[in-house]
């Protein structure tokens, strides 16, 4: 990848001052997003994936504390004045969330909410905004867009609300869309529709997407590249096809093995023993070491760095060769 | 699966929930709103098998589970267990039935009484049904904890001291304390992380083997259901649309909805992606069940008969029934 | 492979915060005064000393004396017992009866709920104080009749709270699990749901006790509660009303007693609510 990345994250660290101590939600991570790609961020609860996404737009408030660099088109978002960040939010980088009912304002019509975003981020006049709002609802696949734009969020079904939220997010034609578990709360057939919609929009609007999810199937079907997070650290990153075919980190391997595959019916799944570590008390060295079946002494002494194990494929596992052979 | 003897037979179960009419309801719908949760559901549960039930929101699978344990009372229909009419049982016979058929719930955080220790919960179940007394109770509790792979000192603790996966184990232990023949798992692992799901599924498989349990496994995750079920039933808007042996259902579905569901579920293979929506249209609400076949508004193969006549379950191949006019 | 239990949280069940400690200390102090007034009070509360009328606070009479030469400190101490009794006896029937009725009505709903709703309507329409005074007026002044009057009206509020809480708890999965396990309804209501619904009742009880002391004092002031020469904070203040300018110590100290009692109950109530909240 010789092209300049659209978004570049270096050394991102997010901590929360909790009554019981310092909670490290994100422990110094690096990753890039290229133009036009769908980057998946996979991990289970406590991995830090949602916090990462929110910190990109400076949505993390005290007692949360964010360090590091988030370089967007040459400028570091984390050190910009607040007014400039507000400019970027909604216009260049937009975000959609898991629960559309809480993310949408229940007392405003959907059309009003889209027009609000347009008013804030574009130069269109009132008439143009109205037309554009209907266009957007049509773009996201809501039938009878004109009449539906006067409906309130509670009059939409779950899938429709998610589409409406996408329409609001896309109002100002952002270059990057952050999606925090957008389909987790939806049924399978509706999830399928929404994911296909996102891919279509990515193509038509030439947008990049960062998709945070815990569902490996969603990742497999939508993402180009993948970042795997565990206990606030990036453990592996690379092209989705490569990671799924040959994971190079013990956690990724464990995760893929825990998902049932057709064929071995009713056999025990290869589960990962134990539980994720407490974020108040991360172990020294690799955070996954206490649960890892490939663990060696070296794994617990120092945190393994991300090294390139194949072109574009990085892993923070000292035993990555053994993992590949497994 | 040892034999094909029926353990439980469900015949023509129907259940509707009526919401008392508000003034707005009268103006809008002309009367009370009726949710048709179950419509004429019939099936046989065989001893020793795992029957998976899948479906999306509003399909009635949870209502069905609750009718089987008599949390809801069906309007019409019959449930037979060991030759008895379950719905007519009272008093001691009913308690005996409760012992035979137990349920584990979805929400690990709401299904355990926050004010009781694990020991109290288990001891109550054991002593209420007169299964043992005195010192034997403590021994039995230790046995149960060991069965679900929790340490012995868990007994003196309160639910809030445990993680989600551990709480589900406690829920399973509580259900097993009364020595049931049949266990109904209503979305047992849906709230858990992928790696924890695998642990609980393995536990379930092992317990079924050891205790010769019959399991009714309700879920929306098709991969999981395929992995552990002998037979699978697919529900849509209150009816069973297909019921077949697992592999047959997943490789040669006879109903268009089953086919759509399988297509919509995101596959773990990044190489196999499609851009076409698996199913068009919204998930209908059980407030408005379409006439004829409930799936006809979204079915790509619907024809005239589908709109007027409701299809019944017909045998398509050995052990496979589907409710479709095709 | 039995897993070791890496616990999510491991903290002591009861962690007492300062406000709760202060409240508890106040109430404990009052409890001691209520149980052993004879040992603590320096003088007989009824003993009149005509040579020591309306003396300001001094070494021999820490709170001064009243217009009949009685030691104010001793009277305030003896009044503590009466006022604590008021707090207890005004609430004991309401909390027990109200909790039981509320739990049953909340669980079963239906006709019981409709009837209960009307009872509540009737009770709230009329101001509490007016109702109590009316009943006391009918039965005659005195503490026992005050207890009866307050009990007749007061249980409704507890029942309302319990009804609402039980309705919420009834929807939970653990309640469903108890039904699936075949437990009797009485067991479900009282062993499973009630402990989870009791917190707002306890908090309300604390506030209620403080308010009942005020009520007792108000009725005492009006001559409808404790009758003189019984020492009760309200009665003491009533006795002192003609001497506010000349002998301020006669009314201030009983007043402080009332305030402290209210504070004590309030802090304990909040503290308990806090503990239960943290336990979830």
The total number of residues written for chain B in this structure: 326
- Decide if A273 and C1 are in contact by the 8 Å CB cutoff: yes
Q: Is the pLDDT of residue C14 over 70?
A: no
Q: Terminus-to-terminus CA distance in chain B, angstroms? A: 32
| DSSP calls for B181-236 | SEEEEESTTTTS-HHHHHHHHHHHHHHHHHHT-EEEEEES-HHHHHHH-SEEEEEE
Q: Terminus-to-terminus CA distance in chain A, angstroms? A: 29
Mean pLDDT of B151-165: 91
Q: What does the pLDDT read at residue A303? A: 87
* Residues A268-315: tens digit of each pLDDT: 888 888 888 888 888 888 889 888 888 888 888 888 888 998 888 999
Q: Show residues of chain B in contact with C280, CB under 8 Å.
A: 114, 160
Burial of A82 (0-12, 13-18, 19+ CB in 10 A): exposed
- Decide if B268 and A199 are in contact by the 8 Å CB cutoff: no
Handedness of CA B251, B254, B259, B265 (dihedral sign): negative
- Decide if C3 and B151 are in contact by the 8 Å CB cutoff: yes
Say if C177 is an interface residue toward chain B (CB within 8 Å).
Answer: yes
Q: What does the pLDDT read at residue B28? A: 65
Domains recognised in chain B with CATH numbers: 6-266+277-322 (3.40.50.300)
Counting the structural domains of chain A, the total is 1
The residue of chain B with its CA nearest to that of C13 is B158
Closest CA–CA distance from residue C17 to any residue of chain A (Å): 14
Is residue A125 in a domain?
A: yes
Mean pLDDT of A161-189: 91
Q: Is the pLDDT of residue C97 over 90?
A: yes
Give the whole-angstrom CA distance, residue C76 versus residue C82: 10
Closest CA–CA distance from residue A119 to any residue of chain C (Å): 43
Is residue A185 in a domain?
A: no
Tell me the residues of chain A between 277 and 296 that have a Cβ less than 8 Å away from chain C: 278
* Residues C113-128: tens digit of each pLDDT: 999 999 999 888 888 8
Closest CA–CA distance from residue B232 to any residue of chain C (Å): 24
Helix, strand or coil for residue A9?
strand
In chain C, the percentage of residues whose pLDDT exceeds 70 is: 94
Say if B206 is an interface residue toward chain A (CB within 8 Å).
Answer: yes
* Residues C158-175: tens digit of each pLDDT: 999 999 999 999 999 999
Burial A302-320 (b: 16+ CB within 10 A, else e): ebbebeebeeebbbbbbbb
B191 with B107: CB under 8 angstroms?
A: yes
Please tell me the least confidently modeled range out of A184-198, A261-275, B278-292.
A261-275
Is residue A108 in a domain?
A: yes
The pLDDT confidence band at residue A65, using thresholds 50, 70 and 90, is very high
Q: What does the pLDDT read at residue C15? A: 60
Say if A275 is an interface residue toward chain C (CB within 8 Å).
Answer: yes
Cα–Cα distances (Å) from A307 to A223, A316, B78, in that order, read 22, 6, 63
Subunits adjacent to chain A (3 or more Cβ pairs under 8 Å): B, C
Q: Is the pLDDT of residue B29 over 70?
A: no
Gyration radius from chain A CA atoms? 21
Is residue A145 in a domain?
A: yes
The pLDDT confidence band at residue B316, using thresholds 50, 70 and 90, is confident
Q: Which of A19-23, A209-213, B269-273 has the highest mean pLDDT?
A: A209-213
CB contact set of A264 (below 8 Å; sequence gap of 6+): B227
Say if C218 is an interface residue toward chain B (CB within 8 Å).
Answer: no
The long-range contacts involving C4-10, CB below 8 angstroms and separated by at least 24 positions, are C4/B151, C5/B150, C5/B151, C5/B153, C5/B154, C5/B166, C6/A274, C6/A275, C6/A278, C7/B161, C7/B162, C8/B161, C8/B162, C8/B163, C9/B160, C9/B161, C10/B161
Q: Please give the sequence-ordered ranges of beta strands (E in DSSP) within chain B, or none if there are none.
A: 6-19, 33-46, 50-54, 76-81, 84-85, 101-104, 182-186, 214-219, 231-236, 239-245, 314-317, 320-322
Distance of CA B285 to the CA centre of its chain: 19
Is residue A90 in a domain?
A: no
Is residue A17 in a domain?
A: no
In chain A, the percentage of residues whose pLDDT exceeds 90 is: 51
The residue of chain A with its CA nearest to that of C11 is A20
Q: What does the pLDDT read at residue C27? A: 92
- Decide if B279 and A266 are in contact by the 8 Å CB cutoff: no
Q: Is the pLDDT of residue B2 over 50?
A: no
The pLDDT confidence band at residue C237, using thresholds 50, 70 and 90, is confident
Domains recognised in chain C with CATH numbers: 31-38+60-279 (1.10.3720.10)
The pLDDT confidence band at residue C2, using thresholds 50, 70 and 90, is very low
Subunits adjacent to chain B (3 or more Cβ pairs under 8 Å): A, C
Is residue A105 in a domain?
A: yes
The residue of chain A with its CA nearest to that of C3 is A274
The residue of chain A with its CA nearest to that of C8 is A278
Closest CA–CA distance from residue C178 to any residue of chain A (Å): 28
Nearest by CB to C182, from B99, B160, B163: name it: B99
Helix, strand or coil for residue B253?
coil
The pLDDT confidence band at residue B1, using thresholds 50, 70 and 90, is very low
* Residues B63-73: tens digit of each pLDDT: 999 999 999 99
At residue A40, what are phi and psi to the nearest 5 degrees?
-95, 140
ipTM entry: 0.88
Mean pLDDT of A197-211: 92
| DSSP calls for C129-175 | HHHHHHHHHHH-SSHHHHHHHHHHHHHHHHHHHHHHHHHHHHTSHHH
Mean pLDDT of C9-30: 77
Q: Which domain holds residue A131?
A: 99-173
Is residue A181 in a domain?
A: no
**Does a cis peptide bond (omega within 30 degrees of 0) precede residue C223?**
no
Q: Show residues of chain A in contact with C6, CB under 8 Å.
A: 274-275, 278
* Residues B193-235: tens digit of each pLDDT: 888 898 999 999 999 999 999 999 999 888 889 999 999 999 9
Which among A124, A103, A85, A102 is positioned nearest to A116, based on CA atoms?
Answer: A124
Q: Show residues of chain B in contact with A159, CB under 8 Å.
A: 282-283
């Amino acid at each position: 990848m010789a092209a300049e990345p659209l978004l570049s994250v270096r050394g991102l660290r997010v901590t929360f001052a909790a009554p019981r101590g310092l909670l490290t939600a994100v422990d110094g991570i690096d990753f890039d997003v290229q133009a036009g790609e769908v980057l998946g961020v996979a991990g289970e609860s406590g991995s830090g994936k949602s916090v990462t996404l929110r910190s990109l737009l400076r949505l993390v408030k005290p007692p949360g504390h964010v360090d590091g660099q988030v370089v967007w088109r040459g400028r570091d978002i984390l050190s910009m004045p607040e007014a400039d960040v507000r400019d970027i939010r909604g216009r260049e980088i937009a975000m959609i969330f898991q629960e559309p009912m809480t993310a949408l304002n229940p007392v405003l019509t959907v059309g009003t909410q889209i027009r609000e975003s347009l008013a804030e981020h574009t130069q269109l006049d009132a008439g143009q905004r109205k037309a554009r709002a209907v266009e957007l609802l049509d773009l996201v696949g809501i039938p009878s867009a004109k009449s539906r734009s006067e409906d309130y969020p509670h009059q939409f079904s779950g899938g429709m609300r998610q589409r409406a939220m996408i329409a609001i997010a896309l109002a100002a034609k952002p270059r990057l869309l952050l999606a925090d578990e957008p389909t987790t709360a939806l049924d399978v057939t509706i999830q399928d529709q929404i994911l296909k919609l996102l891919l279509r929009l990515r193509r038509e609007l030439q947008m990049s997407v960062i998709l945070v999810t815990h569902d490996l199937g969603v990742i497999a079907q939508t993402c180009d590249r993948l970042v795997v997070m565990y206990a606030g650290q990036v453990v592996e990153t690379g092209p989705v096809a490569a990671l799924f075919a040959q994971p190079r980190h013990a956690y990724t391997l464990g995760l893929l093995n825990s998902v049932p595959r057709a064929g071995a019916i009713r056999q025990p799944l290869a589960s990962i023993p134990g539980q994720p570590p407490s974020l108040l008390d991360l172990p020294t060295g690799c955070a996954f070491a206490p649960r890892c079946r490939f663990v060696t002494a070296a794994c617990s002494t120092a945190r393994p760095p991300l090294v390139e194990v194949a072109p574009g494929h990085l892993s923070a596992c000292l035993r990555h060769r053994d993992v590949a052979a497994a | 699966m040892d034999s094909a003897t029926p353990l439980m037979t469900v015949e023509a179960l129907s259940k509707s929930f009526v919401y008392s009419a508000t003034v707005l309801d009268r103006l809008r719908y002309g009367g009370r709103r009726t949710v048709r949760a179950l419509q004429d559901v019939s099936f046989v549960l065989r001893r020793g098998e795992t029957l998976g039930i899948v479906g999306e929101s509003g399909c009635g699978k949870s209502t069905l589970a609750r009718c089987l344990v008599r949390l809801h009372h069906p309007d019409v229909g019959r449930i037979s267990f060991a030759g008895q009419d379950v719905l007519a049982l009272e008093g001691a016979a009913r308690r005996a039935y409760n012992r035979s058929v137990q349920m584990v719930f979805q929400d690990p955080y709401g299904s355990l009484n926050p004010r009781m220790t694990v020991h109290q919960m288990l001891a109550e179940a054991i002593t209420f049904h007169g299964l043992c007394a005195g010192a034997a109770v403590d021994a039995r509790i230790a046995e149960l904890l060991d069965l679900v792979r929790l340490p012995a000192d868990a007994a003196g603790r309160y639910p809030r001291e445990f993680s989600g996966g551990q709480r589900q184990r406690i829920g399973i232990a509580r259900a097993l304390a009364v020595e049931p023949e049949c266990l109904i798992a209503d979305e047992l692992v849906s709230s858990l992380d992928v790696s924890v799901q695998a642990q609980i599924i393995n536990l379930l498989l092992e317990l079924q083997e050891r205790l010769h349990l019959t399991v009714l496994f309700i879920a929306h995750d098709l991969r999981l259901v395929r992995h552990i079920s002998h037979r699978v039933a697919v529900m849509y808007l209150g009816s069973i649309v297909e019921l077949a042996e697992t592999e047959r259902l997943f490789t040669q579905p006879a109903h268009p909805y089953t086919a759509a569901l399988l297509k919509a579920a995101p596959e773990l293979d990044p190489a196999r992606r499609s851009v076409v929506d698996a199913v068009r249209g919204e998930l209908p609400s059980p407030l408005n069940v379409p006439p004829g076949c409930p799936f006809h508004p979204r079915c790509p193969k619907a024809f005239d008969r589908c709109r007027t006549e409701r299809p019944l379950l017909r045998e398509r191949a050995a052990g496979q029934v589907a409710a479709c006019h095709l | 492979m039995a897993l070791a239990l890496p616990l999510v949280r491991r903290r002591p069940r009861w962690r007492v915060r300062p406000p709760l400690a202060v409240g508890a200390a106040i109430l404990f102090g009052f409890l001691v005064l209520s149980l052993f007034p004879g040992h603590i009070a320096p003088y007989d509360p009824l003993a009149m000393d005509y040579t020591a009328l309306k003396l300001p606070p001094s070494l021999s009479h820490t709170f001064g004396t009243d217009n009949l030469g009685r030691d104010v400190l001793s009277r305030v101490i003896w009044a503590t017992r009466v006022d604590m009794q008021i707090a207890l006896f005004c609430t004991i029937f309401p909390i027990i009866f109200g909790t039981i009725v509320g739990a049953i009505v909340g669980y079963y709903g239906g006709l019981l709920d409709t009837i209960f709703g009307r009872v509540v309507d009737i009770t709230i329409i009329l101001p509490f104080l007016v109702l109590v005074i009316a009943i006391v007026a009918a039965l005659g002044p005195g503490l026992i009749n005050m207890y009866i009057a307050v009990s007749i009206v007061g249980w409704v509020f507890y029942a309302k709270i319990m009804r609402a809480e039980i309705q919420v708890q009834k929807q939970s999965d653990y309640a469903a699990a108890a039904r699936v396990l075949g437990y009797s309804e009485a067991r479900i209501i009282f062993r499973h749901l009630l402990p989870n619904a009791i917190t707002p009742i306890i908090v309300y009880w604390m506030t209620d006790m403080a308010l009942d002391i005020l009520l007792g004092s108000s009725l005492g002031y009006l001559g409808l509660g404790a009758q003189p020469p019984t020492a009760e904070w309200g009665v003491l203040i009533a006795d002192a009303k003609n001497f506010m300018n000349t002998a301020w110590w006669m009314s201030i100290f009983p007043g402080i007693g009332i305030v402290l009692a209210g504070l004590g109950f309030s802090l304990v109530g909040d503290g308990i609510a806090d503990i239960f909240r943290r336990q979830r």
